[in-house]
Structure 1
Amino acid sequence: MLQQSTPQQTLENPDLKLWREKLLLELKQGNKASKKLLQALKKGVPLEHRGLAWQSMIGNDLRITDKLYELLLERAHLHMTQLSVMDQLEAGAFRKNLKVIEEDLHRTFGELGHFRQGNPLYQPLKNVLIAYSMLRPDLGYVQGMSYVAGCLLIFSTEQGSEKEAFRSFANLMNRELLFTFYSFDMERVNVVFHVFMNLMRDRLPKLYGVFKATNISCSIFLFEWIVALYSNIFALETSARLWDSYLFHGDYFMIKVALAICCCLEQHLIQQGVLNGSSGTGQFEMMVLLFKNVKNFVSEEGLFQALESHQACSKFGQDDYEKVKKQVEAMSNLERLI
């Protein structure tokens, strides 16, 4: 006798079904993206499939193994009781990293409380960050990393899976834009700043005019935005939706998001009657306040609407980013020769 279908089986969300039956496999295979996949990424990966989708998009080019993670944690534990003089120097650097990590944990997604001491994700996040500081002592721990690793832990296939989160975190940190910022390669960081200012000049001239009039640089906000991949300025689900597209499209999408935020803030300034090109201390302070408190002025709906349809950023792609980047790099090289 046929088993009667339950309402849950007959009314399965079509988005969930599409991801389960087709899109996860498409991501895993890594072939050219279909229109369905691109549209689905814009809508956001369903929570039920986000962990697997992110793993596929991040990959494991570094060949991080579970055993490596275990060895890194063992080595970290040994650093707490080192005996040799040589090891004491390395252990000293480790303890400095550990101190900053412990200070940052409770502030990470503080409104959610997931990473406060005594909560289930506190120790997993601490372990992931400690292990990475052992893997890359040249970088150690840098503020902002806790948000990236924390987000990976929250959305791992089994929430709190340390090994999965560490594997993804290590590979994500190896992406060019993140590594540039976390390694404080200021020559390359300044290239990114110049790229963004040039994009603002060409695509958002009114807002750019206010920046010039008030002598504001994008460095006051862009560094902070990028190192945490926007997870420190938006609600968790909003950040996760941005990651859904970033992990697939790559670094240029982070710049596109910054443009979209600026589109929204420009509209706010227009409504406030600010974009008149005048300068002054009050205007400078207002601009800093605006860009340091994006969450209060940019809604999730407004952000994704700008990404999708605002002329300044909707068609912005990898080729546009690379073109402006090459122009900035060429100008920088020319200035060094003069």
Structure 2
Amino acid sequence: MAKSTFSKVDEYGFERPDNFNYDIYEQFMSQYIRTLTRRAQRWSTFKGDIYQKSSTLKRFIRKGIPSDRRTSVWMRISGAENLKNSSELSYSALRKKINNQHIIDTIQIDLPRTFPENIYFSNHEYLPKELFNVLATFAHQNQEVGYCQGLNYIAGLLLLATKDEEATFWLLKALVEKILPQYYIVTMTGLLIDLDVLDELVSNFEPLVHAHIHNIGMPWAMGTTKWFICLYSEVLPTETVFRIWDCLFNEGSKIIFRVAIALIRLHRDKILRTSELGELIGCFRDMRNHESVINCHIFMQEVFKLSGNLSNSTISRLRTKYRIKQIKN
């Protein structure tokens, strides 16, 4: 077979892992490039208000936002544009308020750890500087959250997608304060509740997997915390993550659970073949290499094949259930 023409570094600057399957990726890209071209043409013919939420817009977004439109579309559908326009202070004014040395030092320690395998972060000065500005500005204006590990990966990937420091700040603010409330506070209350929600959802949708994981004794926090905290940014291929975020910004946090169930369903047989904790954790760690995960278009189809009602209202009901349970305990 001819040697792959794809670089060791992907289009977003990430070095591909040693076990990266170039054959699968080549098969995927030969089809996906045509898909991207077709979707770009479809977006150019979109009629009506492109930012008014509708079933048509949802369908378009689920099939992927063209990369050159992502920043403007994300800003509008996420509520980040509204946050920006309603803020008493501009981003540049907020950035001038950076003065807490503890926050500054903590973020600066984390900067070299943020995507060290990415050439744009490791070989250039401007992107780490922009990342620092975004994280420090956010931490100073949101004192309840401040700075939390995990935010660096989200903000870093937002910078790679938007190439816009100010847009990245407002998108990060929309995610943390509106879409994923209480994930990043000191107690991580929102995250702990959502892990309980995930447990119930897996029990409902994949009872055999649920029983197997409990029998082995793997806490959901051990296998899936990164899924939630980093919004899959350190877990799945970059283009797959951006396709997930397209839907997350438009449809809310139910998307995180849909993705989780899809990942577990795709790896059902492999999970069920594990017999001890280390093997099971390794299975969760290696999920990025599945053929259908690399092919982001097929993966997103899997995400929305999920039968049953997994709406935001369902997630809200389950969150209330486990919040009450936490209070009682």
Matches within 5 A, 1:8-27: 13-22=37-46, 26-27=49-50
Distance 1:328 1:190 in 2: 9
AA paired with 1:322? S
What is the CA distance between 1:143 and its match in structure 2? 1.0
Matches within 5 A, 1:174-193: 174-177=177-180, 179-193=181-195
Moved over 4 A (4+): 64-67, 329-333
Whether the aligned pair in 1 keeps the contact of 2:197 and 2:318 (CA below 8 Å) is yes
Matches within 5 A, 1:268-287: 268-270=270-272, 273-274=273-274, 283-287=276-280
Normalized against structure 2, the TM-score is what? 0.77
What is the CA distance between 1:235 and its match in structure 2? 1.8
Distance 1:20 1:110 in 2: 36
Question: Which of residues 165, 168, 173 is equivalent to 2:171?
Answer: 168
Distance 2:299 2:42 in 1: 25
Matches within 5 A, 1:201-212: 201-212=203-214
What is the CA distance between 1:66 and its match in structure 2? 9.6
AA paired with 1:166? F
Question: Which of residues 128, 135, 140 is equivalent to 1:129?
Answer: 135
AA paired with 2:46? K
- Aligned residue number for residue 310 of structure 2: 316
What is the CA distance between 1:69 and its match in structure 2? 2.1
AA paired with 2:196? H
Change (3 A) 1:46 1:132: same
- Aligned residue number for residue 6 of structure 1: none
Say which one has the larger Rg: 1
Normalized against structure 1, the TM-score is what? 0.76
- Aligned residue number for residue 9 of structure 1: none
What is the CA distance between 1:113 and its match in structure 2? 2.2
The alignment of Structure 1 onto Structure 2 pairs a total of residues equal to 289
AA paired with 2:122? R
Distance 1:223 1:208 in 2: 17
Instruction: Say which structure, 1 or 2, has more relative contact order (CA 8 Å, 6+ apart).
Output: 2
SS class of match (1:54): helix
AA paired with 1:32? S
Alignment of 1:296 with 2:302, yes or no, is no
Query: What's the CA shift string for 1:103-124, capped at 9, x where partnerless?
Result: 3223333332222363432211
Distance 1:22 1:209 in 2: 46
SS class of match (2:121): coil
Change (3 A) 1:260 1:26: farther
What is the CA distance between 1:231 and its match in structure 2? 0.9
Distance 2:138 2:322 in 1: 32
- The CA RMSD measured in Å over matched residues stands at 2.7
What is the CA distance between 1:192 and its match in structure 2? 1.4
Whether the aligned pair in 2 keeps the contact of 1:115 and 1:125 (CA below 8 Å) is no
Whether the aligned pair in 2 keeps the contact of 1:229 and 1:254 (CA below 8 Å) is yes
Query: What's the CA shift string for 1:283-330, capped at 9, x where partnerless?
Result: 11111222233323462336334313354x7x6332432343344445
Q: Percent identity?
A: 20
SS class of match (2:139): helix
Change (3 A) 1:21 1:260: same
Distance 1:14 1:176 in 2: 30
What is the CA distance between 1:67 and its match in structure 2? 5.0
Query: What's the CA shift string for 1:201-255, capped at 9, x where partnerless?
Result: 1111111111111121211133221121111111211110100111111011111
SS class of match (2:113): coil
Whether the aligned pair in 1 keeps the contact of 2:243 and 2:300 (CA below 8 Å) is no
Distance 1:120 1:188 in 2: 33
- Aligned residue number for residue 40 of structure 1: 60
Whether the aligned pair in 2 keeps the contact of 1:268 and 1:297 (CA below 8 Å) is no
- Aligned residue number for residue 18 of structure 2: none
Whether the aligned pair in 1 keeps the contact of 2:39 and 2:64 (CA below 8 Å) is no
AA paired with 1:308? F
SS class of match (1:237): helix
Whether the aligned pair in 1 keeps the contact of 2:76 and 2:82 (CA below 8 Å) is no
Distance 1:75 1:319 in 2: 38
Whether the aligned pair in 2 keeps the contact of 1:253 and 1:317 (CA below 8 Å) is no
- Aligned residue number for residue 112 of structure 2: 106
AA paired with 2:131? L
What is the CA distance between 1:264 and its match in structure 2? 1.8
Distance 1:105 1:122 in 2: 6
What is the CA distance between 1:129 and its match in structure 2? 0.9
Distance 1:330 1:176 in 2: 21
SS class of match (2:231): coil
The unaligned stretches of length 5 or more in structure 1 are 1-11, 80-93
- Aligned residue number for residue 124 of structure 2: 118
SS class of match (1:48): coil
Whether the aligned pair in 1 keeps the contact of 2:271 and 2:280 (CA below 8 Å) is no
Query: What's the CA shift string for 1:163-222, capped at 9, x where partnerless?
Result: 222122222221252x31101444443321211111111111111111111121211133
Change (3 A) 1:291 1:62: same
